Structure 1
Amino acid sequence: MPSQPVASSSTTRKRKRPQQHQYSVSYSEVHEVDHEGRLREVIVIEDTPPPPSTLSPALTASTTTNGGYSMSHQPPIFNAPIRTRARAAAEAQLVSSASSSVMAAPAPKKRKRDPDGGSLLGSSKKVQTNKYPNGSNAIPPLTTKSWASGSGAATDDTSKGPPSCDDKEGHYIIVPDDIIYRRYRTVRLLGQGTFGKVVEAVDTTNNSRVAIKIIRAIPKYRDASKIEVRVLQKLKEKDPTNKHKCIHLLHWFDHRNHICLVSELLGMCVYDFLKENDFQPFPRRHIQDFARQLLDSVAFLHDLRLVHTDLKPENILLVHNSYRAIQYAVPNKVGQRMQKKRILNNTEIRLIDFGSATFEEEYHSTVVSTRHYRASEIILGLGWSYPCDAFSLGCILVEFFTGVALFQTHDNLEHLAMMEMVMGKMPDRFSRSGARSKPDFFKEGNKLDWPKPKATRQSKRDVRATRGLQELIPPDDEINIQFLDLVRRLLAFDPTQRATVREALNHPYFDLDIPMDDFR
């Protein structure tokens, strides 16, 4: 049964009565509040013979016993018998639609999914690659009408009941000025991934800007988000002052079947800065700053027996986006040319997205990490632990130095072939283990079986074009020599031979004093 209507102002309309033997239909639009607290309109149809024509206009108005809003509509005159309720309802719908001045929110565009999968709550194609930006790269404010404050229900005609606040894929429909959890006012959509959406919002209790990660209303994503909440609470408990620069969870709650995680609003992700800077490498001083912070953050996780499993530039956020533009000379065949480059004013970062973080003693998924940063032992199905994070960090640091991803592939065997081009042949012990686990990838003598007869020409060209570490990082001065050695230790094929992040933090590379004006 409908709940008690809400009292509001009422108006009446009266039309000329039809001739004798004609019938009329009365429509009452009543504002009601349902059991979930949402305001909606209900149309009441009464197809009864008209009252005597002697009634006064005041008495012919449709009324409700509870003082609810109502309005009478007189349909056109027909010479037919009494119409059915279905026909009357259809006419009422037309009248209501014509008189409504409120636009309904448009259906959300379908988003393409990441074919590679990646982590459950982070790695996917984004509508907008900024995750928590406070810069100028965010998606422009939406123009659709807001939902009713605090409810998520649309303010348009709701004769068929309030529309869902979700799209077909379980994503929360974002509109500006929506009030979430009676506290957070949405400002704009910042990004979207497999896990859900991230929005910028204002905390109305203190007028501060925050980022809210709104998880899709699908059981597997909700369950995974609860694991992420558990991890984030642990990080905040163990590092209340955020010395180790992991994102801090400010608040979390369940809003209309969506788990919502509130954090500080930060700058764009490092990948976006690279992209907007035409994929030019970072200055070597900045790479050193980033490396020190990242290794410390991941070492902190490992001390808590946590493996991040999805380290990549998209999951590293700048605290501030500000930069200065410089011009510097680049040597070429005819001498040199001047090139513009953006230089960050502040290199402070935060590590984010713990949706795939796993405690060492708990269940380990077979495949983790986003493809380009996936360690060799994961590809070969040999199990994984803390060293897979070290491998991902090695890939990231090389990307900071060159501007582009180290391994650009979507095929496992091709990926392993590229690794051999970069790091040299697999050690015998590791290749023997790999051959037992993935015999299709190896030939006689435990050698990588590349190229396969079915390999495409493009694939073969891509592998041949992959450069070795020493070519990517030419050891022409002490800075590059030490950086190359650090990266080589992080990218070791065999995880048992790979440097731990704690060992990497003590590498001589971090004792070097790199000049601030070193922009190469």
Structure 2
Amino acid sequence: MSAAVHPLTNHLMPHYPRQSLNGVTHNPPGPSVIANSSPVTTRKRKRAHQYTINYSEVQEVDSDGRLREFIVIEDTPPPPTLSPATTHHGYSASYQPPNCGAPRTRQAARLEAAGLSSTSSSLVPAPPAKRRKQNLQEEVRAPAKKLVPASHHTQAVVAANSWESRSAAATDDTTKGAPSCDDKEGHYIIVPDDMIYKRYRTVRLLGQGTFGKVVEAVDTQTNSRVAIKIIRAIPKYRDASKIEVRVLQKLKERDPLNRNKCIHLLHWFDHRNHICLVSELLGMCVYDFLKENDFAPFPRHHIQDFARQLFGSVAFLHDLRLIHTDLKPENILLVHNDYRVVNVPIPGKRNGATKPKRILQSTDIRLIDFGSATFESEYHSTVVCTRHYRAPEIILGLGWSFPCDAYSLGCILVEFYTGVALYQTHDNLEHLAMMEMVMGKMPERFARAGARSKPEFFKEGAKLDWPKAKASRQSKKDVRATRPLADVIPPTDHANKLFLNLVQKLLAFDPAQRISVREALAHPYFSLTIPEEV
């Protein structure tokens, strides 16, 4: 199978002239303000349930004839809120955090894992989604992850057997015949007070994803608390984690004082056939804070602080010729979770009714998760970025590079302003139609390139072929209800006008016309002084 990467013409990327649009470089890489006007109201809370994340393995052959294997998590429909682009009042759902209490014994944990696991899916707790239609499939937001070339099949089988049998491939603290410390999917079973690498004592499970688990632990050498990302003991995940280690080492080498606020790798090692990455212990991710705050938007001066830090982090990556490819609120961690509570009016309620809202005490953040990061000069998979933050050139198969990160940042800023994701869809054509509703029609040159790459999305004249005859009534309704960006971010004062202008430049269809992240840092928006507000 050949890789479906379709290069664009060279004129489409003036901000980054050294690479072509398929991501392959031809030169060596070098070194008085009013309150937010987007209210969020709540719905009746529903009982939480679990979601199944389905994923598939995809193989591509690159230009050198090498076979590359990828894990692609299925595209996901909306997170548990309505999009600000499709409703004047977003709905929030009750957030019930996952049960992070670790099992007391490995045997009990293995039995529990065996009951929950399957060979083609992993379960994660999530808040209930708003039902858009009775038969609409429910999923959660998840990224398409990139993996390095797969080993020979027989080598993969041997390696896979090694972690199941705890054979010589396990590298630390294991003896022949010892009971497995993994569940049947290769996840490390977390037990309180377990010693990892004869140095780190586990405290609790912080989270779990497709690639592994993150635990809080105490470094017994320094008596400090750390976070350890424990990768699944499966060859393709181990190989992918080594790419992340290489990226993190590069970032720390080039920024030892961490002025650019990317997560710093403190230590990494191989423990019982699990690659482990040790980093500083930080607070919750920004998306979790939004959920626990009932999806209330951030104050505008906080958004400006977040944006300045985020743009600085991503510009630093781009200077190193590195593309993050998975920017989203889940991959932005707060350094501190401390907050104060204020009472704010409930929109549409009379008699002065109020509700509590959390206001962060500190807006310091760190950018994390470089497992999908890609150097400009290295192989680019065809699909990257979590669905809701994916740039149009990726959807259209036109190749991608640094501007896809800028597009994701635009989506993130809108989510900070409204509290909910800008685009909530699981269908490519519907996604493009919503983009046109938000940003206007695609530029003709970009549309023609898209029509050549994905003719199934276009009709004669390089016009988006929406709605298709097979489009559901609900899908048509959702697209019709999508609001222009100027309605989502109303230009009611100077601060909002500049903010809207910045987001418009980030969400431009054509990556050649999209503002670069380094240029965005010089935008007049960042010279504003925005008074404190709630």
The TM-score with structure 1 as length reference comes to: 0.72
SS at match of 2:333: strand
TM-superposition CA deviations, 1:410-469 (whole Å, max 9, x none): 111111011001111100000000000000000011000011111111111111222110
Partner residue, 1:144: 104
- The whole-number CA distance in structure 1 between the counterparts of 2:104 and 2:75 is 26
SS at match of 2:382: coil
One-letter code aligned to 2:198:
R
**Paired residue for 2:478, among 456, 459, 462?**
462
Aligned residue runs from structure 1 range 47-196, under 5 A = 112-114=52-54, 139-145=99-105, 151=173, 161-196=177-212
Partner residue, 1:63: none
**Paired residue for 2:360, among 334, 344, 348?**
344
TM-superposition CA deviations, 1:109-136 (whole Å, max 9, x none): x9832559999699999xxx9xxxxxx9
Structure 1: any 5+ residue segments left out of the alignment? 1-109, 130-135
Is the CA contact (8 Å cut-off) linking 1:121 and 1:194 kept in structure 2? no
Displacement after TM superposition at 1:338 (Å): 2.1
Displacement after TM superposition at 1:152 (Å): 6.7
- The whole-number CA distance in structure 2 between the counterparts of 1:415 and 1:481 is 26
- The whole-number CA distance in structure 1 between the counterparts of 2:218 and 2:72 is 24
- The whole-number CA distance in structure 2 between the counterparts of 1:226 and 1:338 is 50
- The whole-number CA distance in structure 1 between the counterparts of 2:103 and 2:229 is 21
Alignment of 1:419 with 2:359, yes or no, is no
Displacement after TM superposition at 1:142 (Å): 2.2
- The whole-number CA distance in structure 2 between the counterparts of 1:286 and 1:226 is 35
Partner residue, 1:399: 415
Aligned-residue CA RMSD (Å)? 2.5
- The whole-number CA distance in structure 2 between the counterparts of 1:503 and 1:493 is 17
- The whole-number CA distance in structure 2 between the counterparts of 1:467 and 1:256 is 52
- The whole-number CA distance in structure 1 between the counterparts of 2:253 and 2:418 is 37
Cα 1:123–1:392 shift into 2, 3 Å: farther
Is the CA contact (8 Å cut-off) linking 1:121 and 1:221 kept in structure 2? no
Cα 1:122–1:355 shift into 2, 3 Å: farther
Which structure carries more relative contact order (alpha carbon 8 Å, separation 6+)?
2
Is the CA contact (8 Å cut-off) linking 1:250 and 1:262 kept in structure 2? yes
Cα 1:239–1:332 shift into 2, 3 Å: same
SS at match of 2:225: strand
SS at match of 2:469: coil
Displacement after TM superposition at 1:340 (Å): 1.7
Partner residue, 1:215: 231
- The whole-number CA distance in structure 2 between the counterparts of 1:427 and 1:114 is 35
TM-superposition CA deviations, 1:379-411 (whole Å, max 9, x none): 000000000000000000000000000010111
- The whole-number CA distance in structure 1 between the counterparts of 2:57 and 2:280 is 27
- The whole-number CA distance in structure 2 between the counterparts of 1:310 and 1:350 is 14
Displacement after TM superposition at 1:145 (Å): 2.6
One-letter code aligned to 1:144:
R
Alignment of 1:229 with 2:255, yes or no, is no
Alignment of 1:304 with 2:324, yes or no, is no
Displacement after TM superposition at 1:220 (Å): 1.2
Partner residue, 1:275: 291
Structure 2: any 5+ residue segments left out of the alignment? 1-49, 59-69, 81-95, 108-171
SS at match of 1:483: helix
Partner residue, 1:32: none
Cα 1:470–1:276 shift into 2, 3 Å: same
Aligned residue runs from structure 1 range 313-328, under 5 A = 313-328=329-344
- The whole-number CA distance in structure 2 between the counterparts of 1:455 and 1:218 is 40
SS at match of 2:53: coil
Alignment of 1:439 with 2:379, yes or no, is no
- The whole-number CA distance in structure 2 between the counterparts of 1:249 and 1:163 is 30
Displacement after TM superposition at 1:137 (Å): 5.7
Cα 1:413–1:111 shift into 2, 3 Å: closer
- The whole-number CA distance in structure 1 between the counterparts of 2:468 and 2:377 is 38
SS at match of 2:52: coil
The TM-score with structure 2 as length reference comes to: 0.70
Q: Could you tell which deviates more after superposition, 456-465 or 331-340?
A: 331-340
Cα 1:340–1:123 shift into 2, 3 Å: farther
SS at match of 1:241: coil
Is the CA contact (8 Å cut-off) linking 2:326 and 2:384 kept in structure 1? yes
One-letter code aligned to 1:142:
A
Cα 1:337–1:317 shift into 2, 3 Å: same
- The whole-number CA distance in structure 1 between the counterparts of 2:510 and 2:444 is 10
| Larger Cα-atom Rg | 1
Is the CA contact (8 Å cut-off) linking 2:100 and 2:207 kept in structure 1? no
Cα 1:246–1:120 shift into 2, 3 Å: farther
One-letter code aligned to 1:346:
S
Give the fraction of aligned pairs with identical amino acids, expressed as a percent.
74
Cα 1:488–1:299 shift into 2, 3 Å: same
Alignment of 1:244 with 2:204, yes or no, is no
- The whole-number CA distance in structure 2 between the counterparts of 1:274 and 1:393 is 17
SS at match of 1:112: strand
Cα 1:443–1:123 shift into 2, 3 Å: closer
SS at match of 1:332: coil
Displacement after TM superposition at 1:140 (Å): 3.8
Is the CA contact (8 Å cut-off) linking 2:249 and 2:265 kept in structure 1? yes
TM-superposition CA deviations, 1:292-319 (whole Å, max 9, x none): 0000000000000000000000000000
One-letter code aligned to 2:254:
K
